Amino acid sequence: MMEGYDEIMKIAFQAEDALSEKVIAKFGRKFHDKQILIKEGEIQQKIYWITSGEVYVTRKVGEKYRVMATLGKGELIGEMSFIDKSVRSATVIAKGDVDTLEFSKENFADIYTASPQWSRRLMVSLAKRIRFMVDKLSTISG
Amino acid sequence: MDDLPHFLQYGDEVTIPARELIYKVGEPTGDKPIYYVIAGLAKLEYPLSASSFPLWITPENLFGLVEPLAECPRIGTVRASERMILYRWTVENFTLAAAVSWELGLATIAGLTRELRILNAEFGERLSRREEGRR
Q: Give backbone dihedrals phi and psi of A65, rounded to 5 degrees, phi first.
A: -90, 125
Q: What is the pTM of this model?
A: 0.88
How much is the mean pLDDT over chain A? 87
Number of domains in chain A: 1
Which of B4, B6, B16 has the alpha carbon at shortest distance from B82?
Answer: B16
CATH classification at residue A11: 2.60.120.10
Show me where the domains of chain B are located: 6-134
**Does A124 sit within 8 Å of B109, measured CB to CB?**
no
**A77 part of a folded domain:** yes
pLDDT for residue A45: 79
Kindly give the parts of chain B with pLDDT less than 70.
1-2, 135
pLDDT for residue B42: 97
Residue A114 distance to chain B (closest CA, Å) = 10
Are A72 and A50 in contact by the 8 Å Cβ rule? The answer is yes
Residue B101 distance to chain A (closest CA, Å) = 10
pLDDT for residue A65: 85
Residue A93 sits in which domain range?
Answer: 5-137
ipTM for this prediction:
0.93
Q: Give backbone dihedrals phi and psi of B49, rounded to 5 degrees, phi first.
A: -70, 120
- Alpha-carbon distance of A88 to A119, in angstroms, equals 20
**A16 part of a folded domain:** yes
In tens, the pLDDT along B100-116 reads: 888 888 889 999 999 99
At the top level of CATH, the class of B6-134 is: mainly beta
- Alpha-carbon distance of B100 to B94, in angstroms, equals 10
The verdict on A67 touching B (C-beta cutoff 8 Å) is: no
The verdict on A119 touching B (C-beta cutoff 8 Å) is: yes
Are B93 and B31 in contact by the 8 Å Cβ rule? The answer is no
Residue A26 distance to chain B (closest CA, Å) = 27
